[in-house]
Amino acid sequence: MARPESALSLELERSMNMQVRVETFEEHLRHGEIIDKLDDDRRTKSFNLDKWNEDMQKSFFRERKTILKLDDLSKAKDALEELDKKVNSFNKTYSKKIKQIRALEVEYENLDDELRIWLIAYATKCREKLRNENTNIEKKMMEENIIKRFM
């Protein structure tokens, strides 16, 4: 026959359960920290890419100004064609990189949202379990007090 549970054993069980729940929270918050770090790295890449774009646009502008000073139409045409190739190559590379960065932004935002939703749901679940465990312990303590009074 199973030994009846005492209020003390129920309190110990509740305490151990709470420890596990807190550790679960900690682990998921660490996941959130990793997501945040990845997003910080993505943001830095985005800022660097914006700076690169700005620098390249200035460079293209300076090159155009130099071309406009050319007197020889044939040399100006060749220089413009070369500049056009550089601009097209840059635009292709920039476009590819910015799409990758934006995709990561959406991915990290979704992961962060999912984690936050999970943590809120888990907190609610833990609160309910704790309330039920507290109720059971209080009930058991009252039963034990009644038994002690009549013995």
Token pair 């009074």: residue: 149
Band of pLDDT at residue 3, cut at 50, 70 and 90 = low
Among 34, 46, 32, CA closest to 105: 46
Question: 16 lies in a domain?
Answer: no
Give residues with Cβ within 8 angstroms of 78, minimum separation 6: none
Which tokens in the block code for residue 30?
Answer: 């660490």
Cα separation of the two ends of the chain: 23
- The pLDDT value given to residue 146: 87
Q: Tell me the per-residue pLDDT of 48-68, one tens digit each, with 9 for 90 and over.
A: 999 999 999 999 999 999 999
DSSP-derived secondary structure letter, 151:
-
Question: 149 lies in a domain?
Answer: no
Residues of the chain with pLDDT > 70, as a percent, come to 97
Question: 12 lies in a domain?
Answer: no
Total domain count, the chain: 1
Question: 97 lies in a domain?
Answer: yes
- The pLDDT value given to residue 93: 98
Question: 5 lies in a domain?
Answer: no
Q: What is the value of pTM for the model shown?
A: 0.76
Among 47, 45, 38, CA closest to 108: 38
In whole angstroms, give the CA distance from residue 110 to residue 106: 6
**Which residues form the domain of 64?**
25-143
Question: 123 lies in a domain?
Answer: yes
